[in-house]
A and B are shown apart, each in its own frame.
Chain A
């Protein structure tokens, strides 16, 4: 039963078979390289598009209950490590994009939330979200998806706590520390219809924003899937290279892509013998840190805190990668 859900409903193996048959009917040999590339491309674009639209809709509906203004109020009630944990958890359900990180940062700080809690939130928000959970489930299975989410949260909690312990409050830009906002506003009451409209709008805007990345991601995926020799992938990202995780993380950090764009690349690499932890490190690095989001964050914090934040994320992601590689056989 679990297998069926994973393969046919989330994985949509039937769609692959259908496209294969359609292409054969058109006289294309799907066992050939070109035929195989086209099949992989069509199947993945359609599959990811369907998942994206469905997921964003459901997730946005849930997220409409957790605007950052509300998360801020909830967080104010917790202290110590508990606040870090709740911050990391709220990060997964609060709608987030890199352009909202500054107002959120200012809002949290001016409400007197500890710096570490804000960072737990800022780390977990892009790294772990409900969408990545379902998407990972469809490709790697439930166990790996859960492990990814739990470890992502652990990085967020530890990272935030560390920043707290380092007492880096002085490295937050002055305009943020001086921001004066003790007001708690009630989010306007939304009806079910409002939430449904919000969810629909989110699907449309996310789709427009992310679709080019999906095409690029699937394009790269189908090249890997059909043209890159397995031996290459194994040498660079497989068990032959002890530094595969470090390499994958460092390559992933400056890249800006949505998790929906990185999934097809990850899927193709795994099929070619790359190690699981190496791939997950790459995905975490791509989604958590990117040049645009770092440039944005630089406006809010001074270089030293920014560097600490980057270092904590990179070290955490690399450790997770090696952890997954060590336990790959028990998980897959």
Chain B
């Protein structure tokens, strides 16, 4: 599974990244977590509101700082 956290490197994005790591650890799955802060890349995915979360190249959340338990449901 490939998980991407996208954001401009602001504190909101950092907390989303932390939550993702927490959720992945809790679920005990093998997932590759990428943290993308390159705005150009982010826009190429069509995303404009950060932080955003992509799972296997599908955008599942935008503009929200999800909690670990919300992410667990998405995994």
Chain B residues with CB below 8 A from A104, complex form: 48
Report how far A68 CA is from B49 CA in the complex, Å: 7
Cβ of A17 within 8 Å of any chain B Cβ, yes or no, is no
Cβ of B71 within 8 Å of any chain A Cβ, yes or no, is no
Which of A103, A184, A205 interacts with B8 by CB under 8 Å?
Answer: A103
Chain A 178-191 per-residue mask, 1 if CB under 8 angstroms from chain B, else 0:
01110111011000
Question: Does A181 lie within 8 Å of B46, measured CB to CB?
Answer: yes
Cβ of A95 within 8 Å of any chain B Cβ, yes or no, is yes
Which of A72, A183, A188 interacts with B60 by CB under 8 Å?
Answer: A188
Report how far A103 CA is from B63 CA in the complex, Å: 12
Cβ of B1 within 8 Å of any chain A Cβ, yes or no, is no
Q: On chain B, which size bracket covers the interface?
A: 20 to 34
Chain B 37-48 per-residue mask, 1 if CB under 8 angstroms from chain A, else 0:
001101111111
Chain B residues with CB below 8 A from A180, complex form: 44
Report how far A104 CA is from B62 CA in the complex, Å: 13
Cβ of A102 within 8 Å of any chain B Cβ, yes or no, is yes
Shortest C-beta distance, A172 to chain B (Å), equals: 14
Question: Does A185 lie within 8 Å of B10, measured CB to CB?
Answer: no
Shortest C-beta distance, B37 to chain A (Å), equals: 12
Which of B8, B45, B46, B60 interacts with A102 by CB under 8 Å?
Answer: B8
**CB within 8 Å for A103 and B43 given contacts A68-B48, A68-B49, A201-B65:** yes
Q: On chain A, which size bracket covers the interface?
A: 20 to 34
Chain A residues with CB below 8 A from B68, complex form: none
Question: Does A181 lie within 8 Å of B43, measured CB to CB?
Answer: yes
Chain A 242-270 per-residue mask, 1 if CB under 8 angstroms from chain B, else 0:
00000000000000000000000000000
Report how far A175 CA is from B40 CA in the complex, Å: 8
Q: Which of A95, A103, A110, A187 has its CB near the most chain B CB atoms (within 10 A)?
A: A103
Please give 6 more A-B residue pairs, beta carbons under 8 A apart, in addition to A69-B48, A103-B42, A198-B64: A67-B49, A69-B46, A103-B39, A184-B46, A188-B59, A188-B61
A-B residue pairs in contact (CB < 8 Å), sample of 28:
A67-B48, A67-B49, A67-B63, A69-B46, A69-B62, A99-B8, A100-B49, A103-B42, A103-B48, A106-B40, A106-B43, A107-B43, A107-B46, A107-B48, A175-B40, A179-B40, A179-B43, A179-B44, A184-B46, A185-B59, A187-B62, A188-B59, A188-B60, A188-B61, A188-B62, A198-B64, A201-B64, A201-B65
Shortest 7 CB-CB contacts between residues of A and residues of B: A183-B46, A185-B46, A68-B48, A107-B48, A106-B43, A103-B48, A181-B43
